[in-house]
Each structure stands twice: as structure tokens, then as C-alpha cells.
Chains A and B, each alone.
Chain A
Amino acid sequence: MGDRDRAAGSHSRTWAVWLVPAALVLAGWAVARAAAGPAPVPAANQLGQWSPYAVGFGIGILSCISFLISNRPIGVSTAYAQTSGMIGRLVAGSRIDRMAYYRAVKPEIGWEWMLALGVLLGAWLSAVLFGELRVEAAPPLWVAEFGPGAAWRWLAAAAGGVLLGVGSRWAGGCTSGHGISGTLQLVAGSWLAVVCFFVGGVATAFMLY
């Protein structure tokens, strides 16, 4: 093993911590520039949306806070596995805890479960504060494309959800765990995963719409 091998992937540069305030200033400047520039005409569904750069910057900062306080990456799909295990335990009892998968992912109210609960509360808070809270059986685009029958949308949503459940556990993460948290840690497999998410998603979307 040469020096290069030992140095690969190492984190020995203390000075690098100064990159945090530097990045904050730079990103703040970029956001301010973007906000000051000529605003494009917003599409109907973009009224009231915040700049995607401001939102992305905020999510990046949240990732840092998550690593600092909890030493964990943000990832939502684990909470579904925890919940399905807890529901399974209600139905099938302690048999669930003997299953290989639930021995690896403990069915309990853990950090990830609280994160998912927080996402629900945070989105609700945002919708209330910005007047976007409205009960909607099916999204307007679906109604325009496939007609007003909400039951069909619900069926399609459930089917899509099953695929997301199988796929996210199969790949070991979702758009947050791989797509943001894994990629920002420069994990090669997470970059591969997010490419596959979008290849599958774009191909399917072009077939469906």
C-alpha cells in the first residue's frame, strides 16, 4: 500500500472546516443574485413556490445539521420498513421479529420514524402558513389526463407505492437516502442508484403520458 492508497478517502484536513462559512457566503450571494435577476413567468403550479436553489441550499444545511447532531444522514424510506414491521407485529405477533429483514431494520419508533413524522408536520405547517392546505382527491394533472375518477388515481397511487416500497428497500434507499444523502457523501453506489431512479422514472413517465 503506497501513500496514495492510504490517503485515498481520508479526512485529515482541519482547515477544510472554514469552507463551511465560505460556502454559506457564496451560496447566499448566488441566491441573492438569482432573486434579483429577471423573474421568469411562473407556471400555474409554481405560484408561491420558493426558489429551488434556496430550498436545495436549506436541505443541504439540514443534512449538515443532521450529521452534526445525530451523525446520521437524512433518509425517509427506512421509516416505512419500521412501520410495516410494527403493523406486521400487530397482525402476526413476534414472528415478525424473527424475520431476517426485521432483525436488520428494527420495527420501532426510531430516529428515521421521527424524521418521517416531522416531514408530515413540516409540510402541513408550510401549507397552512402559505395558504396551500386543501383536501384534494386527485391531482389536477391526473384529472386532465385520465378523467375525474379519483378511485382510479387511488388505485394507481397504491400500485406505484408498492413499487416504491419494493424498489427503495431493494436498492437500500430512496430519493433522500441515496439521492441526496448518499450522493453528497460521494458514495459511488448512491450515484448509481439515483441514475437508475431517474432512468426508470423518465422511461415510465414517457410511456404513461
Chain B
Amino acid sequence: MLAALRSNKRVQLAAGLAIGVGFGFLLQRGGVTRYEVVIGQLLLQDFTVVKIMLTAIVTGMIGVHALCSAGWATLSKKSGSVGSTVVGGLIFGVGFAVLGYCPGTMIGAVGQGSLDALFGMAGMLAGTAVYAAAYPALSGSILKIGDFGQVTLPELFRVKVWPVVFAVGACLGAILIAVEYAGL
């Protein structure tokens, strides 16, 4: 049944849309489609973004690994390298602070009427086009530096998956409790 569902293109496009509606609804309800909330997080004054992300990670981590253990899903891992992940991540971070939205929350910001996010979207489209043009040069050079592939934390530490799930869950839970106690 899952295979039939997954191979039906129209069902999949509808599923993508429905999941997106839920995601956008939650982002707006959480306040992270607001510039003030994102900048507040980057200035370490308002920890809404971190609270949402860590709670989502713990919930999704347990659920998705359970689905994988049951054989109902497979992980979809991105490969990385120092040259791609670190350099790209830092460029992203600068843009994150200058814009005050991230790629998903700025779409949500447009949905709530924030016109500045439209300019952010236009800029981001231009940015991806620039990257696509530069990609042949980058892929043969900087993106290859320090390649570590699709390695996961359990593979890296050569342990089974579930102990890592519990350990990471406990760490993130402790961080959330610490953030609450600090009154952030």
C-alpha cells in the first residue's frame, strides 16, 4: 500500500502540498515567520527558534527512526564536506541575519503580509541561479575539500542507532530545560 502511495505522482504532489500547509501553519503559529523573533534568536535574547527546532528534532528523530526500524521508511541523508557544509553554512548564516528570515519562514512571512520577505524570495532565487552558474567551478574544487560523505552519528561512533537516539534526545532535552531555567 505504501509503495502504491509513493509511486502515484499526483498523490505525492498533493501530499507535499498538504505537509507544506501544516508546516507553514505551524511556523506562523510559532511566530518564527516574524523578523523580530528570528533576529531575537540570533541576538540570543529570544530562544523561540531554538525551542521549536530542538523539540521538532527530538520528536521527529524518535518517530523517523521508529519508522525505519519497522521497515516503513528509509533515511534520506545529505552528503557533505568541510568545503561545502562549513563554507556554505557560514554564507547562509550571514544571509540569515541580514534578511531575518530563513528560506521556509520567509515564504510564510509573505503569507502573513510581510512585503520585505518578497524581496528576500527574489534575492534567494537570484542567489540559487548564481550558485547554479558557479557550480561547475565549485564542484571540482572547494566542494571536494574534506569530504565526509553521508555519515551519520551512529556510523561515525560505530554504535547502534537507538542508543544514539536516546543520548541525543537526552542532551537536547537537557538544553531545553536549561534554556527554560535561564528564563530565555
User: Which of B36, B63, B139, B153 meets A20, CB within 8 Å?
Assistant: B63
Chain A 183-209 interface 0/1 with B at a Cβ cutoff of 8 Å (1 = within):
111111111111111111111111011
Residue of A with least CB distance to B139:
A100
User: Which of A55, A72, A87 meets B26, CB within 8 Å?
Assistant: A55
Contacts of A114 in B (CB 8 A): 13-14, 16-17, 20
Chain B 147-170 interface 0/1 with A at a Cβ cutoff of 8 Å (1 = within):
010111111101111101100100
User: Which of B14, B20, B91, B138 meets A167, CB within 8 Å?
Assistant: B91
Residue of A with least CB distance to B121:
A161
State A135–B25 Cα separation when bound (angstroms): 18
Contacts of A156 in B (CB 8 A): 98-99
B98 touches A209 (CB 8 A): no
A168 touches B103 (CB 8 A): yes
B93 touches A199 (CB 8 A): yes
B127 touches A157 (CB 8 A): no
Residue of A with least CB distance to B6:
A71
Contacts of B113 in A (CB 8 A): 127, 133-136
B16 touches A115 (CB 8 A): yes
State A138–B109 Cα separation when bound (angstroms): 11
A59 touches B131 (CB 8 A): no
Chain A 111-141 interface 0/1 with B at a Cβ cutoff of 8 Å (1 = within):
1111111111111111100101111111111
The reply on A39 being an interface residue by CB < 8 A is no
What class of interface size applies to chain B in its complex with A? 35 or more
Residue of A with least CB distance to B46:
A43
State A100–B88 Cα separation when bound (angstroms): 19
Residue of B with least CB distance to A198:
B93
B20 touches A115 (CB 8 A): yes
The reply on A10 being an interface residue by CB < 8 A is yes
The reply on B56 being an interface residue by CB < 8 A is yes
Shortest Cβ distance from B101 into chain A, in angstroms? 8
Q: Which A positions have Cβ atoms within 8 angstroms of B?
A: 4-5, 7-14, 16-20, 23, 27, 40, 43, 45-46, 49-50, 52-53, 55-74, 76-77, 80-81, 83-85, 87-88, 99-102, 109-127, 130, 132-142, 150, 153-206, 208-209
Q: Which B positions have Cβ atoms within 8 angstroms of A?
A: 2, 5-6, 12-31, 33-37, 39-40, 42-44, 46, 48, 51-81, 84-100, 102-117, 119-133, 135-136, 138-139, 143, 148, 150-156, 158-162, 164-165, 168, 176, 183
Can you list 8 residue pairs at the A/B interface with Cβ under 8 Å? A4-B158, A77-B103, A81-B132, A133-B112, A134-B113, A159-B123, A168-B88, A188-B152
